Structure 1
């Protein structure tokens, strides 16, 4: 007998988000984690705009923003000389309600998510390790090593591996974890600086270069309380089996302190914690095997450049959650329709992960490579080019779209209708563009995990009755020139998936039949 709908292995941000989104859609979940609690220290700080947009669905965004720190600017230093200042408040203001980079420590992030999960009566089963599982075809049977030392089994409809770089779920399904290990050893420190007139501690981010050594300084909580990230070259090269999460004992804070002072010239008052770790760039060759799925670091792992890893994993979880909920909560779906829907998870998310890994790998190589040309890029080209390109609105917009993951789209997915004519027009698979006018904000309705239809301009005849019959929320916005600038067609119906991506765009006669065809051909019910 199936005990739960979905067994989640791993209670980091991705596992917790998956549990929250599944619960919100009426799916029974069980979440286990081999740790004793949320990690006391964390590497991930950046929460990007796309995550905050999606967090509005469960009313999480405001609390994160209240507790986080919005970075106002970033600076570039080369050999102790200030070379560039970039005002981050100029980026993304027309793209999203959250045009900034939010700094919020991962350990606090996890506690916030877990507290919300606990409020629903769902608790992480700590010190419980997934040992193995068997896919029975119609369910899975997992073997768990429990906190009391005993073994138990769990029967679930599906299992999702949110269990990190050394995922047991990935091992069982035989997915290859293709990629490599970076030679530099990363170190990360939570430090408090001495009271001093240092421009480094002004509440802004700072990237400093001295030869091949760099440090990234990110403020949070207060100006003189910062997260410091850097790299050092260890005495021995890393092996492929090196744990990416465990501290590396061979390097201490005292070992890297001379490098830190060389790049930042600061006096440190207190070190709250210090850790080192290897970083990999890897993507699993498959994200699904029948009733087992991979999410987050179990599926892909990146260099810390751009703070993309955790954010990409959270988007994995939200993409998968509505698809699992659909096949579980709609028993009338045919087996073929269920398989077709679940099969869209891997191509939609893996292609984006490959793009992110490629971009972060390229960026990290530029930051750390030795030689004349990499040095020239760091010392002269990048510091000179960044302020120049930041002057142009188009460039700022593109930088923000890519860095904040607003660029993610699913064009070409089988879950979409045919594309519309015109490359400048919003297409199926795109994130719903944000438009704020003097009258309304088209994101104000995105508080539910549900299908919606948006119309900009007059609603087509018959659409209101169709939506009412199908229990789909219809929102009609009075036409504004800003809608046209964002790429919307006047009077067209935009069908939104539960994850806020555009599933189809419909206009003209017999629109209701076109919508019916979308759901019928995919074996879906809109409600």
Structure 2
């Protein structure tokens, strides 16, 4: 970047997973986007480690899921150990979740997640502009003027239509907006290491150990080559009170010796564990905080800049990725000139009304998980160890409980309230379904764009199918990709998906016999509108009246 000034439609501040996902989606949508980061290079530590089923569906929609999976470790559940003995766990092989093709936990270092997103961004023709520190911003009626400086101190002036702050827990964007960031740090301090582990329990399962006040965690990352281990730091002092949590950029890392981590981990697990070849060792304290607003005028926050959680459940990064998916298409449609001015502002407001409640709910869940598992001391910790086997063992054998926990942790049951972006009765995530021996609905929904599904449970003759296809031109002109899903249509033609099994009809509530239904799915994978029959006209009404589309432009996000 040779010029002193940067002008763009959207400036993304921060090149962690949330910022990188946002930049990828905005670029895919045809937005003139730039992304800057204070750091000289991408993360080398693992930091965030678990990618949820919902996030994998997002990666799949832009063709990146396989690249991510091949870099990580698939684990099918969690084992709980108390006083050195396994007392139960979550077995995802017992989970009933046929509506996602990813019924597992993907353990992958954050550095690998960032590498996949950076590579995709480069192929799209956009590079992260590094060693640029944002120092302030000023909003005008039609733009945001951002001040920044390079590593050598040279000033940089940036002008953007909109700014997204994805710059972590210590976000300068959030501070510049003077957003509230309510919460606190947990009292416990932790030791963390990404290491090779020799022990008798294997490397294929996520494990939680409870041993009085000592808590241990084991996360498989890359087979026997790399695992993450964490334990409670019972010798913590106030020196660590302000250390950032493991998901943040550790600007003030606390030193940790491998020998100390090994001794603490062996004590917590009750196992003869040997740790070697560390790639990251640190002490940290984790926080729980959330902003009061996601938007202030032309500036938005996402990811750790908007919410930070305990590491419990691996929710933080995944929540940030879904923040990015929710916002990017709304900015693209607003900037593309396809919406009435009043409708565009209302659409941007739905980013906060949809995502802020999710962040608060995730914060409550992770806070409860953390408090139960790691937030006990003294007699309460010993009481937990006595009670836990009686609770965990029976629950581990109940498939309904396993399924409920899976769906909550994997973020696949999140539903958005009615708004200009969600019709009454809609808002849930669009479920996946196997359409044929070799094709899933997620293949049809590929690409970060709107899709209209017209589903016909009954077989269609060729002329009936052609009649439906003829109605698709109107929604196509508004940037929506239409599909007819039916059992028969007189041969394969563009726009028709031949269905070999009825799962998709059941999941989308298509009436029995020869029933038909229509479903409009947003780029972020949530259902925007649903109608009975061949509802092309109803879909058009929703797009033009509720969403406020006024003409064709860039919203197809191709």
Whether contact under 8 Å (1:18, 1:321) holds in the other structure is: yes
Deviation digits for residues 147-187 of structure 1 (CA, Å, limit 9, x no counterpart)? 33200101111111000111111111111001111111122
Whether contact under 8 Å (1:3, 1:155) holds in the other structure is: yes
Deviation digits for residues 386-426 of structure 1 (CA, Å, limit 9, x no counterpart)? 4433433332221111111112221333311122xxxxxxx
- Partner in structure 1 of residue 510 of structure 2: 489
- State the SS of the aligned residue for 1:338: helix
Deviates further, 229-238 or 347-356: 229-238
Distance 1:202 1:417, change over 3 A: closer
Residue 126 of structure 1 and its aligned partner are, at CA, apart by 1.0
- Partner in structure 2 of residue 454 of structure 1: 453
Please tell me whether residue 258 in structure 1 is matched to residue 263 in structure 2.
yes
- Partner in structure 2 of residue 287 of structure 1: 294
Residue 463 of structure 1 and its aligned partner are, at CA, apart by 4.9
- Rounded to whole Å, the distance in 2 between the matches of 1:399 and 1:339 is 36
- Partner in structure 1 of residue 311 of structure 2: 304
Distance 1:157 1:72, change over 3 A: same
- State the SS of the aligned residue for 1:132: strand
Structure 1 residues 265-280: aligned runs within 5 Å: 265=271, 266-280=273-287
Whether contact under 8 Å (1:348, 1:413) holds in the other structure is: no
Whether contact under 8 Å (2:52, 2:106) holds in the other structure is: yes
Deviation digits for residues 501-525 of structure 1 (CA, Å, limit 9, x no counterpart)? 111111258x444222212223125
- Partner in structure 2 of residue 514 of structure 1: 538
- Rounded to whole Å, the distance in 2 between the matches of 1:434 and 1:332 is 29
Structure 1 residues 110-121: aligned runs within 5 Å: 110-121=114-125
Distance 1:243 1:64, change over 3 A: closer
Deviation digits for residues 42-93 of structure 1 (CA, Å, limit 9, x no counterpart)? 3211011111111122210011111211013432222222323543333354
- Rounded to whole Å, the distance in 1 between the matches of 2:190 and 2:162 is 36
Please tell me whether residue 469 in structure 1 is matched to residue 474 in structure 2.
yes
Residue 250 of structure 1 and its aligned partner are, at CA, apart by 6.5
Which of residues 1, 7, 12 in structure 1 aligns to 2:11? 7
Deviation digits for residues 85-129 of structure 1 (CA, Å, limit 9, x no counterpart)? 543333354131111100110012112211221122211111110
Whether contact under 8 Å (2:87, 2:392) holds in the other structure is: no
- Partner in structure 1 of residue 215 of structure 2: 214
Distance 1:395 1:463, change over 3 A: farther
Whether contact under 8 Å (1:412, 1:429) holds in the other structure is: yes
Which of residues 322, 325, 348 in structure 2 aligns to 1:318? 325
Structure 1 residues 22-171: aligned runs within 5 Å: 22-171=26-175
RMSD of aligned Cα (Å): 2.4
Distance 1:17 1:176, change over 3 A: same
Distance 1:2 1:506, change over 3 A: farther
Whether contact under 8 Å (2:262, 2:274) holds in the other structure is: no
Deviation digits for residues 277-316 of structure 1 (CA, Å, limit 9, x no counterpart)? 2211001000101110001000000000000000100110
Residue 135 of structure 1 and its aligned partner are, at CA, apart by 0.5
The total of aligned residue pairs comes to 513
- Partner in structure 1 of residue 492 of structure 2: none
Distance 1:166 1:92, change over 3 A: farther
Whether contact under 8 Å (2:192, 2:261) holds in the other structure is: no
The TM-score with structure 1 as length reference comes to 0.91
- State the SS of the aligned residue for 2:312: coil
Deviates further, 438-447 or 101-110: 438-447
Deviates further, 14-23 or 115-124: 115-124
- Partner in structure 2 of residue 370 of structure 1: 377
- Partner in structure 1 of residue 497 of structure 2: none
